[in-house]
A and B are shown apart, each in its own frame.
Chain A
Amino acid sequence: MLNRSSRGLFVVGLVLLATAGLTGCAEIQKAAEGAARSSGNERLAKTIHGGGTLIGGLLPIGYEEEQTIGQAIALQVVARYGGVYDQPDLTRYVNLVGRSVALTCDRADIEYRFAILNHDSINAFAAPAGYIFVTRGLLKTIKNEAELAAVLGHEIGHVTQKHILDVIQRSKQIAGVAEAGLAYANKNPDAFKNVIDGAVKKLLDEGLDQGKELESDRVGVIFASRVGYDPTAYETFLDRLRTLKGDDRAFFKTHPDFSNRLSTVRSTISEQKLKTTGILLADRFTRSSNGAL
């Protein structure tokens, strides 16, 4: 004889099997929950309901949610960094370089958008779903298009590797807020605000882990090289930034030691056999930024 709980599980199992081949996860969960309830096992129904929500909270964040998160973080980046620099031609140029690099990156099927922040500091940020920012100060330190392509490649790398989403996912798990799931954004704006505030703090104040920055350096130089830009341009750029150390504390606080970064880039170029093409396009960069910075 089966006890009440076992009978409930048996019925739920049958329903799951019958539904699995035909419907999505949410429907399966709903069907199992309904079966448990109609068999009189309210406790089991609640467990299935909670389990589904928990699993949903633990599984990776989907692209729709990523877009919502990316846009909310982008709002904070723009607000904290003095707004967007109103130079349509230069913005279009940065977008053309960035989108050329994104065209053959490892996550080429999503939209990437680039904007210039009206700020003198030297920095760049990537929010989920392809919202990418460079400061006016950073553009001033760049000497050619190949350097810009590598910098944007680094930021695209944060998006392809889902670095911020990983931070959010971990913080959700540590805080045990799987129940609050990001999809509750409209119903539960406080939970959504906490998630975004935490991500913004990590992105703008604390900086990502060294490992994530180095990973972005590695994939960024590969992405730029795929389009044909000379990968050694990134080495030159990082070396130039190293000499500026101390002038911009915010940037150096949120990015790893430059000798680590340089050795990562050098070993990537060598291991991946990236071609030294000599394509720097310094003239096009100067022409496009002339008088605008």
Chain B
Amino acid sequence: MNHRHAFLAILVFMVTAMTDAAFGETLYVSAKSAQLRSGKTSLDPVVASLKIGETLEVVKRDDRWVQVKTAKGVTGWIYSGNVSESKPAGGDNELAALGKGFRRTEASGVTASAGARGLDKASESYANRVGITQQHRDAVDRMTANKIPDEDIQTFLKAGRLGEYAE
């Protein structure tokens, strides 16, 4: 009986080690946005659009592609460059957010939205103090406001056969 159990355990171990399966492994979407496809090429239909930080369970790995299952139960293939083993840190990590909480008591309205069009109030004040010209302020303002749609980046990657569009 004991020998039989030991034999079965070794058999299970060997089968697991020999297959590509990576049951139980968790990955995170590390790209800003990513597509889950029905097959492992960029030509296969998209079965789900994923957002950064989403948790995925690994089903199988195959070269540059990983077959995964989403939290909603959708299974598909994702380009390996779009996933990571650690959860993306994000704009703020927990400690930074804590620091912001402590500082907030006396910081109301201090930092405006640098992500929006226009220079931040503090930056504008700094520019006044150090004598930055209007031309240079406009340049940084334009740089801040400069947006490129994700579709354009995908088209660019596709044309260069980069990322998931590689052959």
Contacts and interface: CB of A to CB of B under 8 A. Distances in A.
Contacts of B153: 96, 99-100, 103
B95 A67 contact: no
A29 B105 contact: yes
B111 A65 contact: yes
A183 B99 CA distance: 10
Interface residues of A, number: 69
Nearest to A62: B100
A249 interface: no
Contacts of A106: 30, 84, 88-89
Interface in A30-80: 30, 52-53, 55-68, 70-72, 74-76, 78-79
A56 B103 contact: yes
Contacts of A66: 91
B30 A108 contact: yes
Given A29-B102, A186-B121, A228-B166, A131 B133 contact: no
B45 interface: no
A179 B19 CA distance: 58
Given A68-B120, A109-B88, A184-B110, A96 B152 contact: yes
A56 B157 contact: no
Interface stretch (A188-196, A203-211, A239-247, A260-268): A188-196
A280 to B, nearest CB: 10
Contacts of A121: none
Interface in B134-166: 135-137, 139-140, 142-144, 146-148, 152-153, 156-157, 159-163, 166
B8 interface: no
Given A106-B84, A113-B146, A228-B163, A186 B32 contact: no
Contacts of B152: 96
A101 to B, nearest CB: 10
Contacts of A181: 103, 106-107
Contacts of B81: 104, 226-228
Contacts of A111: 115, 147
B66 interface: no
Interface residues of B, number: 66
Contacts of B52: 108-109
A145 interface: yes
A276 interface: no
Given A226-B81, A228-B162, 12 more contacts: A29-B102, A56-B103, A57-B103, A62-B97, A63-B91, A104-B31, A106-B84, A109-B32, A113-B143, A183-B106, A186-B125, A192-B126
25 contacts: A26-B102, A52-B102, A52-B105, A53-B102, A56-B103, A59-B95, A59-B96, A62-B96, A64-B111, A72-B126, A76-B130, A84-B143, A96-B156, A99-B153, A104-B30, A104-B82, A108-B32, A109-B53, A109-B91, A111-B147, A113-B144, A183-B111, A193-B129, A227-B81, A284-B159
The 7 closest A-B pairs by CB, nearest first: A59-B99, A56-B102, A183-B107, A67-B114, A25-B101, A185-B122, A63-B91
Interface of B: 30-32, 52-53, 81-82, 84, 88-93, 95-107, 109-111, 113-115, 119-123, 125-127, 129-130, 132-133, 135-137, 139-140, 142-144, 146-148, 152-153, 156-157, 159-163, 166
Interface of A: 24-26, 29-30, 52-53, 55-68, 70-72, 74-76, 78-79, 83-84, 92, 95-96, 99-100, 103-104, 106-111, 113, 115, 129, 131, 145, 181-187, 189, 192-193, 196-197, 226-229, 277, 279, 281, 284
